[in-house]
């Protein structure tokens, strides 16, 4: 047993040591790099392991770039990886740009990738332009008719403005603004329906790609639909608003009239109360005048006669003049 343990223990140590050596020294990857003509030192690969950089993520793109004839070294790729970039995508973008004869240095490609943009897709869009379709944009002509316009914008990526340039949403917003302005400047909506290319020419002449990451090649009107009669609707809404204002003012005047009527009624009731109160004082005043000798008996009788005559005239005025009844003719005596 001791002899068997003595034989197995060194073998296990050798296997463990060989595994650790192959882990820190990727011999297979080093052999592949040497076979591809890429000069990568074995200690460089070990240093990548110590810096927690997967050697395959650096060496394989380096082999690819070397075969494509790109002047890229290990330090550039490793620095880009440590900065959080995608080394393989940057290498593919550089190869695609070289094949398309597009000037794209490694520093600019790395900056585009670190900015969060897909540098390979940008290079592909520079070679093969993309089409951006806008949603329906509503514009109102001067005659009040609404038009809904959909446009297709053909754009090409501008490599020099990918860093710091605006994206597709800005292009869509600017094209929509140009469509609204163009439709709003038309006197009649029929002019737009007859010549929709005027919209694309007007919008394209505004230089909408300034400050963006794209170059606008063409703007084509895909569809134009007739919408609502906004002018008539606005006039209807205005008339309804004026009607409500007039009704509010009429209600205000009616409320003021009711308040004035109630005020006059209260005033009349107050005056009637005062008259009744004054009339109640009349007998007492007459009695005092008779008692003090300021009013004679004949004066009192004359006043009563005047009052009676006044009441009679008022009653006659209320009932109206009496119409005489027709009399029957007398029968002749026999």
**What is the SS3 assignment for 211-265?**
CECEEEEEEEEEEEEEEEEHHHHHHHHHHHHHHHHHHHHHHHHHHHHHHHHHHHH
Percent of the chain with pLDDT over 90: 0
Note the pTM of the prediction, 2 decimals: 0.56
Helix axis angle, 55-68 relative to 87-99, nearest 10°? Answer: 10
pLDDT at 181 over 80: yes
pLDDT at 24 over 70: no
Per-residue pLDDT, averaged over 199-207, amounts to: 81
Contact 129, 219 (CB under 8 A): no
Tell how far CA 194 is from the center of its chain: 31
CA nearest to 223, candidates 151, 305, 299: 151
pLDDT at 44 over 60: yes
Query: Which carries the bigger pLDDT value, residue 5 or residue 221?
Result: 221
Which pLDDT does position 141 carry in this prediction?
86
CB within 8 Å of 252: residues ≥ 6 apart: none
The string of DSSP letters for 91-106 reads HHHHHHHHHTT----H
| Confidence grade of residue 334 (pLDDT, cut at 50, 70, 90) | very low
pLDDT at 6 over 70: no
What is the H or E stretch that residue 304 is in? helix 297-319
| Confidence grade of residue 7 (pLDDT, cut at 50, 70, 90) | low
Give per-residue pLDDT as tens, 308-332. Answer: 888 888 788 777 555 555 555 555 5
> How many residues would you count in the chain?
334
- Pairwise CA distance, residues 295 & 299, whole Å: 6
Give per-residue pLDDT as tens, 54-91. Answer: 888 888 888 888 888 888 888 888 888 888 888 889 99
Q: Lowest mean pLDDT: which of 1-5, 57-61, 124-128, 177-181?
A: 1-5
Which pLDDT does position 324 carry in this prediction?
55
Give per-residue pLDDT as tens, 245-269. Answer: 989 989 988 888 888 888 888 888 8
Q: Strand, helix or coil at 139?
A: strand
What is the H or E stretch that residue 157 is in? strand 145-157
pLDDT at 1 over 60: no
- Pairwise CA distance, residues 63 & 128, whole Å: 27
Q: Strand, helix or coil at 17?
A: helix
């Amino acid at each position: 047993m001791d002899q068997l343990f003595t034989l197995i223990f060194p073998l296990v140590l050798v296997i463990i040591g060989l595994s650790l050596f192959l882990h820190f020294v990727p011999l297979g990857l080093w052999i592949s790099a040497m076979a591809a003509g890429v000069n990568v030192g074995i200690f460089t690969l070990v240093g990548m392991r110590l810096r927690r950089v997967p050697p395959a993520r650096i060496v394989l793109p380096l082999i690819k770039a070397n075969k494509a004839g790109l002047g890229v070294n290990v330090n550039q790729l490793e620095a880009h990886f440590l900065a959080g970039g995608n080394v393989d995508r940057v290498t593919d973008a550089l190869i695609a740009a070289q094949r398309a004869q597009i000037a794209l240095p490694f520093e600019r490609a790395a900056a585009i990738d670190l900015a969060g943009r897909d540098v390979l897709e940008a290079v592909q869009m520079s070679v093969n332009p993309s089409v951006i379709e806008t949603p329906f944009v509503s514009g109102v002509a001067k005659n009040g008719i609404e038009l809904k316009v959909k446009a297709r914008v053909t754009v090409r990526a501008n490599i020099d403005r990918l860093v710091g340039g605006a994206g597709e949403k800005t292009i869509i917003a600017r094209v929509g603004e140009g469509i609204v302005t163009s439709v709003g400047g038309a006197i009649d909506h029929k002019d737009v329906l007859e010549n929709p290319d005027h919209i694309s020419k007007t919008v394209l002449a505004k230089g909408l790609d300034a400050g963006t990451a794209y170059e606008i090649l063409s703007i084509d009107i895909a569809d134009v639909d007739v919408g609502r009669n906004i002018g008539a609707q606005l006039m209807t809404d205005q008339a309804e608003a004026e009607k409500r204002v007039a009704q509010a003012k009429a209600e205000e005047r009616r409320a003021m009239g009711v308040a004035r009527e109630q005020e006059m009624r209260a005033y009349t009731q107050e005056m009637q109360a005062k008259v009744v109160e004054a009339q109640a004082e009349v007998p007492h005043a007459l009695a005092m005048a008779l008692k003090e000798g300021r009013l004679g008996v004949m004066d009192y009788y004359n006043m009563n006669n005047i009052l009676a005559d006044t009441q009679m005239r008022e009653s006659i005025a209320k009932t109206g003049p009496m119409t005489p009844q027709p009399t029957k003719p007398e029968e002749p005596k026999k």
